[in-house]
Chains A and B, each alone.
Chain A
Amino acid sequence: MTDTDRLLSEFIQKYRGAGDADPLPFLRRAGDDRPVLAALIDGFLAAEPAPPFDPHAFAVFRATPGREQLVERVLGPEPTLTQLRREVGLEKAEVGERLAERFGLSGRSASAKACYHEIETGQVPPARVRDDVWAALGDIFGRARDVVLDAAATAFEGRVASAGAFARESGPAATAAPDITPPQSDPVRSAFFYEPE
C-alpha cells in the first residue's frame, strides 16, 4: 500500500468512526502527492452517504446562530442583472456604450453590448468574466460587485437548469466554460472574458 493509499484509508476510517474528520492534517502529510490525495479525499466526501439521522443533532444544527437567516437567503428571491439594469433606467445599448468607454473600446460599443448581453442572459459562466467587468458593472448599476456577480450567476444557473444541461454541467468539461462563444481573437471579447479551457 502506498503512502497515499494509507493516508486515504486512515482518513476514511477516522471519518466513518467519528462521523467527522478534517482532511487538512492528512493532506499536509502527503508530500508531493498532495494533489492526488486531495482529489481522492474530495471524491470520497462527494459520494459518502450521510450517517443515520440524529434528531438531537439536527435540532442543534437548526438552532445555530445565523442558520435561519442563511435558509431564508437560500429560499429568497434574488435580483437578476436585467432587474439591476432596469432599476437604473438603462438599456443594454447604453450599458454597452459605457463599458466600451471604460475599456477604451471606442467605436465598438455594439460588440461591448453583445458581450454584456451574453453575461446578462447567462450564456457565459461568471467565472469566465474578467474582474474589471464586474467592477465596471458595479459602478454602472450602483451596486457592490458581489451583488452584480450574484445576479449574473442567477441567470447562468437558471439557463443551465432550464436547458436540461444537468448532465452537461456535471461532465468533465463542466468547470470549463461552455464552448458557445467565438474564439478570443476579438479584442472586445478579450477585454470581457478569460479564455475558455
Chain B
Amino acid sequence: MTATTMDGDERQETANARRTGRALIVAIHSATRAIKLYPPEHQAVQKALGDLSAAALESKSVDADLELRVHGEFIFVNGTRLRLDLSNYASFGRVLELFRSAGVGAVRVVHDATPREWFALLTLLATVGATPDGDADELARRLHAAGVEAFETSAHADEEVEIEEREAAKAAARRTYAQSVALTKDVINSVRMGRVPSARKIKRAVQTIVDEVLTEEGSLIGLTTLREYDEYTYTHSVNVCIFAVALGKRIGMTKLQLYELGVAALMHDIGKSRVPTDLLQKSTALEDDEWRRITAHPWLGMLTLFQLRGQQELPYRAMIVAHEHHMRRDFTGYPQVIRQRTIAMTSKIVAVADAYDAATSRRSYQTKPYPPSAVLQEMRDNPRRGLDPVVVKAFITLLGIYPSGTLVVLDTFELAVVLGANTNAEMLSRPRVVVVSDGRGNLLQPPIETDLASTGPDGQFARTIIKTADPDRYGIRVSDYII
C-alpha cells in the first residue's frame, strides 16, 4: 500500500498547477522566440524574461517547488502532466523540441531564478541542442561556467525505457484497434441480420479508444494507415472514431465529451448496414436509384440508432452525427434539410474525419487512394466540399501537412514514410519519418527513423520533403513501417 501523490480535496490545486504550468510553458516559448529575434538588451527580450520569471514564481507559489520534465510527447510541471490543446500546442511543441534537442529530460529550479539566469538557461539550451554531442551534462557544465546556479538539469529518460514504453503503447493500440474493428463488424452484421447490437460493447470499444488517445494518440493514428481493402467498411468507422476523438482532444473536449463524440463517430455509417452490400461494393458508376439508396444511409443510420439496446438514454448525439455527417455548410449535401437546423460541431468533426479517411482509403470504386497530403490540401482549399474550414485547419495541425502514412521523396532523393506530425507546431511540414530507401532507390534494412526538423552541424535541415509519391509505384506498403 503506497501513499498517493494527491491528497485531500485537491481538484482546485491541480487545476491551479495546470494553469500556472501552462503559463510557464507559454512564457518559456515567448522568451525563446524573443531571444532568437532580438539582442539581449532589447526591450522585447527583457519583457519576455521578466514575464518568465514571474510565471516561474507563480508556479513555485502553487507547489513550493518547480521542476519541468519532458517524457515522450508530454510535459510535466511538478509531476502534473500538462494538457495540449489548440491554445498552447505551438508553445508545447517548441519547448519539447528545445529540451529534446539538448538531451535534457528535466530542469529543476532550485532557487528563484533571475531574468538573467533564465536568459542563460534558454540560450544554452538552444546552443547545446545545436551541438552534436550536446547533452544535459554539457548544459550543466556551461551553466556552472556562466555562474548560473539556479537550475539543476538531468538527462533525458533512458532511451531504451522510452522505446519499451513506445512499443508497449503500440501493442496496446494494436489490441484496441483490432478489438474495435471486430466490434464494428459485429455491430454492422448484427443490424444486417436484423439483430439489435449491444450498446455495452460499443461503449467499451469507444472508452478504450478514448483512453488510448488520451494517453498516446500517435500509436492509434498510425494504425489508421492500415486501410485494409477487404475490411474497409469496418476499419473506416474505427479510423473515423480515432481521428474524431484525437481532433476532439486537440479542440479541448473533456473525457466524457470525447466519449460521446467517439460513439457518434464509430456509429456514423451504421445506416450503411441497411444498404445492400453489393451496392456498397459496386465498382462501376451508380444509377440514379442506386445513388439515392446510398445517400439514404445518413437518415437510415439515425433510424437504426433508435434500436440500440441497453441505452439508459437514446444516443441522440450519435443520431445527429449519423444524420448530418454528409451535410455541407450550405446544406447542399444530403440528406435534404427542411427544418431550420445548425450543424453540430461533433458532426463537423466527424465529417472532416470521414472525408479524410474515405479519400485516403482503397475502396471498391476507388482502387487508387488519394495521397493524404493532397486530400488535406483539397479539404482546406475547396469550399465546395462544404467542410468547416476551422475544423479542417485544426485537423491539419493534428496530422501535419504530410500526415502519417504519406510516402515522401526527400531532397536527398531518399524515400520516407511519414510516422507522425512534428510536436513542434512551427514544423508542421517537417514530420517524423522513417527513411525506407537510400538516394539510389535501395531499400534500407533496417529503415532509419528521423525527425525532419533536426538540423545538421551547419544549422541547416538535414532533409526536406520535395514531393509526395505513390506507394504503389514503389511497391511500398506504408503500414509496414508504422505498425
Please indicate whether A and B come from the same complex rather than being unrelated chains: no
